[in-house]
Structure 1
Amino acid sequence: MAITSANQLELLQIADAVAREKMIDPGLVIEAMEESLARAAKSRYGSEMDIRVSIDRRTGQPTFTRVRAVTEDDLIENEKAEISPKAAQQTVAGSKNDMFVTQTKVPVYGEEGQQTGTHQVRVFNLRRPTEADRKRMDGVDQDTPPQLGDLLSDQVPPVDMGRIAAQSAKQVILQKVREAERDKQFEEYKDRVGQIVNVAVKREEYGNVIVDLNPGEGSLRRNDKIGRETYRPGDRVRVYIKDVRREQRGPQVFLSRTAPEFMVELFRMEVPEIYDGVIEIKACARDPGSRAKIAVISYDSSIDPVGACVGMRGSRVQAVVNELQGEKIDIIPWNDDAPTFLVNALQPAEVTKVVLDEEAERIEVVVPEEQLSLAIGRRGQNVRLASQLTGLDIDILTEEEESKRRQAEFEERTKLFMDTLDLDEFFAQLLVSEGFTNLEEVAYVESDELLVIDGVDEDTATELQARARDYLEAQNAKALETARANGLQDDLANFEGLSPQMLEALTKDGVTTLEEFATCADWELAGGWTVENGERTKDDGLLEPFGITLEEAQDMIMTARVMLGWVEPEDVVGPAEDEDEAALQPEEAGA
């Protein structure tokens, strides 16, 4: 069947009907029809030819054209789709009265085959212009002959649409319509990540629930469902849009009911103060279907954040609990002080003492013996949620365990002073009781601090410090001798800030020169933490046992680089200067 024998308006009617049914742009359906007709024409005239079809948006009249690109003679590979400049000029000259020039945009591709933009080229149309064509001719040079990169377009007869060609055209149109639907779904949902939607369940596949998003489908995967929930086709369920990805099989909308953000959004819907920004949920941790903790803060001193989230007789929090299948929710007041916040987060357990190690992001909590099980929770749930909420690793000790540890430290320090200073046990215990923890403190502390100890006079204090200094000097000499034996060079030995023990530790790891020291990273010296797959792993530093901080390690490394001439002194910005610059930036921005 020839396309010209059909009612041409029918094409427009079909396109309009399909567009309304699929809720897409009718222009996309017509473009799919044009491509399908072009494929049918190529099967008739040959795949080497560049056949293009355009359908008049008012009459439905299809126009079949052959397009040839003007290409240098020695670069022509396909004579049916390319033409030399000389041949193009002769063709145009022979059609001078039945020819007009327009412009069109063609894509520009980069080295990796990706489109990087478009540029304008002239199109020499080898036919008599219509009234519509004359508008397109305005402002386009009609006299200059074809140049490299220009296009020649001449009409070819319409093709007969046989059964096979019609079937192929149908497949092209269906594929294009399907792609348009997918693009529409992606565009609609890509900006809705983080929202809650109410959807209908369509089916379940291998534990994953497929829901109707209208248009398109979404996936509620097995690990994103609350454990006890079951769904049947037609059930309505509220879900959180967690992610939208463009994949080979089409856009994928991933939904969740277990994400902490889902609970945050539910509270935002139930508590007007959160929606208005008066109250903010600072952190949320969940054990989906079982228990959760949220930390809230109020920016209005007259509003209690916990009370506002609970609601009158618990109405607000109960609405969230019902949506989450009875998940128990602890609402905790936020506090900028980490230990205070942790005490709140471990509720309902009572905390006796908190010791925070900010550098390691760890915190030790001491609780009474009878509160231990409550602080840990069933299967460690309470302490795990508190850890997620605060972002700290938590060690829970009973008062008895903490007492034993303190006793062990006391005995260890007592033995240190007994062995190194040749003291009896009682006198060594006096030093530890006064807060002395190492020999350096005894050797270089002001003598007045030793005189406050019962039984210590000036002679005794002087003798204690002399013994401590003699022992430290002997240890330093021994460490320096070991470092020399390991290959220590003078440039590193004379570097200010490195003790003999530090030099010994560096040389044991192969750092023997100032140049090798300057190539070290700050974490290699001071240690640090690495996060892999959500787990924090400790990286030991060469100088970490000596109490070197990350900032001190940075300073020493930069000083070494300046001494070697790798860095200019004026280019070195210290931590204090960084803070000053950061403090000045807002004022400068405001100015």
Structure 2
Amino acid sequence: MAITSANQLELLQTAEAVAREKMIDPGLVIEAMEESLARAAKSRYGSEMDIRVKIDRRTGRATFTRVRTVVEDEALENYQSELTVKQARQYMAEPKVGDVYEEEVPPVDLGRIAAQSAKQVILQKVREAERDRQYEEFKDRQGTIINGQVKREEYGNLIVDVGRGEAILRRNEKIGRESYRPGDRIRCYVKDVRREARGPQIFLSRTAPEFMSELFKMEVPEIYDGIIEIKAVARDPGSRAKIAVISYDSSIDPVGACVGMRGSRVQAVVNELQGEKIDIIPWNEDVPTFLVNALQPAEVSKVVLDEDAERIEVVVPDEQLSLAIGRRGQNVRLASQLTGLDIDIMTEEEESKRRQKEFEERTQLFMDTLDLDEFFAQLLVAEGFTNLEEVAYVEQDELLVIDGVDEDTAHELQTRAREHLEEQARKALEHARELGVEDSLVEFEGLTPQMVEALAEDGIKTLEDFATCADWELAGGWTTVDGQRTKDEGLLEKFSVDLAEAQNMIMTARVMLGWVDPEDMVAQAAAEAEATAEDKAEA
């Protein structure tokens, strides 16, 4: 097949037809044709030649050009696509290294094999262009709701026709009791769009919390307009969900707006989610207050928040326990997901027993260590003293407010407490030295003898050993495995050493050993502070 005037216009017509069918730029199809013709020409003239083809966008005429580059004499490797400065003078007035000499060559006559190869190149380029178009179209729709039609089911996964492409709804992204047949209409959340070799992969979801958020945005104009904001969503897909909302207009009730007249708005979402029950909860910056709302419909008597451990204790009346926990723990689990905290629920009776046990343990501590009678020890506990350090080093005025305590008694109490603490420290230091602790660790500022003893019992006996520790190894922390948070006990956690203190001590040890440059630490801290400030500004 020769490229003659008879089929020049046919090239443009073919490009236009393919572009319309695949909904891509006609220029991309013409570029594919140019590349395919260039390949065919190379097979005719020789693969070492640099043959390029240009198709006129108006007339369809294909121009075949041989390109040669001017190089240094010693750099000449391929005489078919390169020429020296001396050789170039035959064709150019003042050739320089890097100049390009082009000469038109006769069009090739495409044989059957060359024509088939050209066709494959064009099809490949068109497929790539089509994939790029699909990716560009759907990547901007990630995080939105899309309507589609079920095409088929493969191993429990649904293949959904979404217009100009196909998407997949995996088995674990479907609501449990849902069932679809080919041809059914379906509404999903575009969870992810990935560019892969086989084309863009569009992953859908109906179980994602964001799906519920987007549904409410469609049904509640105030959310779409930004007057009401969805702060958090927790779902047990197909069964129950909790959604926290806040209004930035004091005249609009966020819960009422989401429920709608006679429940019309929330019912539309419930219907889409196959009857999933939805609790709409007012958001509150105060975590305990928010948690009380999140545990509805159960009533809460008391909330104790431990911010360091990201845990919260909730006390409920005895008859409210089952309601607060919910069937199979559903209510407390969703409340935990909504607040981002671990929640411990106990009844008023259980909390009373625990407080009584703590009171008795502290009373016994003061009786044993300070040689006090039970009544006097109970007075100390009732005033809020929990350990010997508080008694030993508190301002004396705080002891004088206790009934029956004068200055002499307060002085005697503090003397006994300090003597006992000093004795404990002496024994701890002796034990640590018996375990082989070096002076570098004993003399390190911030570590008490009891801390040194605890470290030595775990094999940390030198300043170098201490400097290799991680902050969580000392202060403890929490690890999430398969959605379950587990406690990591810290070596110094019982001495009330938090993560910031542990990190500071470890870095100080590293500086003392010369492992870290103090100037680098200052620069790093400044960079982190700047990054934090930028994040806050963007938020």
Given the two structures, how large is their TM-score scaled by the length of structure 1?
Answer: 0.82
The corresponding residue for 2:385 is 436
State how 1:319-468 maps to structure 2 within 5 Å.
Answer: 319-454=268-403, 456=405, 459-468=408-417
The corresponding residue for 2:122 is 173
Asked if the contact 1:293–1:389 (Cα under 8 Å) also holds between the matched residues in 2, the reply is yes
Which among 93, 99, 103 is matched to residue 89 of structure 2?
Answer: 93
The corresponding residue for 2:489 is 540
State how 1:470-485 maps to structure 2 within 5 Å.
Answer: 470-485=419-434
Matched, 1:550 2:499: yes
Q: 1:548-591 CA deviation, whole Å, 9 max, x = no partner?
A: 2233334445555666676559976999xx9999899999x9xx
Q: 1:139-179 CA deviation, whole Å, 9 max, x = no partner?
A: xxxx43041x3333333332222222222222221111111
Asked if the contact 1:182–1:216 (Cα under 8 Å) also holds between the matched residues in 2, the reply is no
Q: Size of the alignment, in residue pairs?
A: 536
SS at match of 1:7: helix
Asked if the contact 1:85–1:146 (Cα under 8 Å) also holds between the matched residues in 2, the reply is no
Q: CA 1:275 to 1:51, structure 2 compared with 1: closer, same or farther past 3 Å? A: same
Asked if the contact 2:385–2:391 (Cα under 8 Å) also holds between the matched residues in 1, the reply is yes
Q: What displacement does 1:71 show?
A: 4.0
Asked if the contact 2:68–2:83 (Cα under 8 Å) also holds between the matched residues in 1, the reply is no
Matched, 1:216 2:165: yes
State how 1:11-26 maps to structure 2 within 5 Å.
Answer: 11-26=11-26
Q: CA 1:435 to 1:489, structure 2 compared with 1: closer, same or farther past 3 Å? A: same
Q: What displacement does 1:372 show?
A: 1.4
Amino acid of the structure 2 residue aligned with 1:95: Y
Q: What displacement does 1:17 show?
A: 0.9
Q: 1:529-549 CA deviation, whole Å, 9 max, x = no partner?
A: 345665544443332211122
Whole-Å separation in 2 of the counterparts to 1:370 and 1:269 = 39
SS at match of 2:241: strand
Whole-Å separation in 2 of the counterparts to 1:73 and 1:531 = 67
Whole-Å separation in 2 of the counterparts to 1:69 and 1:205 = 55
Matched, 1:144 2:144: no
Asked if the contact 1:558–1:572 (Cα under 8 Å) also holds between the matched residues in 2, the reply is no
Q: What displacement does 1:218 show?
A: 1.4
SS at match of 1:69: strand
Q: What displacement does 1:508 show?
A: 3.5
Q: CA 1:306 to 1:66, structure 2 compared with 1: closer, same or farther past 3 Å? A: same
Q: CA 1:574 to 1:228, structure 2 compared with 1: closer, same or farther past 3 Å? A: closer
Unpaired runs of at least 5, structure 2: none
Unpaired runs of at least 5, structure 1: 97-142
Q: CA 1:510 to 1:76, structure 2 compared with 1: closer, same or farther past 3 Å? A: farther
Q: What displacement does 1:268 show?
A: 1.0
Asked if the contact 1:39–1:169 (Cα under 8 Å) also holds between the matched residues in 2, the reply is yes
Given the two structures, how large is their TM-score scaled by the length of structure 2?
Answer: 0.90
Seq. identity, %: 78
Whole-Å separation in 1 of the counterparts to 2:150 and 2:391 = 74
Q: 1:217-253 CA deviation, whole Å, 9 max, x = no partner?
A: 1111112221222222222222211111101111111
Whole-Å separation in 2 of the counterparts to 1:416 and 1:579 = 44
Q: What displacement does 1:449 show?
A: 3.9
Matched, 1:195 2:144: yes
Moved more, 337-346 or 264-273: 264-273
The corresponding residue for 2:47 is 47
The corresponding residue for 1:227 is 176
Q: CA 1:262 to 1:569, structure 2 compared with 1: closer, same or farther past 3 Å? A: closer
Moved more, 236-245 or 180-189: 236-245
Q: 1:287-321 CA deviation, whole Å, 9 max, x = no partner?
A: 11111111011111111110111111111111111
Asked if the contact 1:2–1:159 (Cα under 8 Å) also holds between the matched residues in 2, the reply is yes
Tell me how large the CA RMSD over aligned residues is. 3.2
Q: What displacement does 1:4 show?
A: 2.3
Asked if the contact 1:196–1:240 (Cα under 8 Å) also holds between the matched residues in 2, the reply is yes
Q: CA 1:73 to 1:530, structure 2 compared with 1: closer, same or farther past 3 Å? A: farther
Q: CA 1:366 to 1:63, structure 2 compared with 1: closer, same or farther past 3 Å? A: same
Q: CA 1:488 to 1:241, structure 2 compared with 1: closer, same or farther past 3 Å? A: same
Q: CA 1:571 to 1:255, structure 2 compared with 1: closer, same or farther past 3 Å? A: closer
SS at match of 1:192: coil
SS at match of 2:66: strand
Q: CA 1:252 to 1:396, structure 2 compared with 1: closer, same or farther past 3 Å? A: same
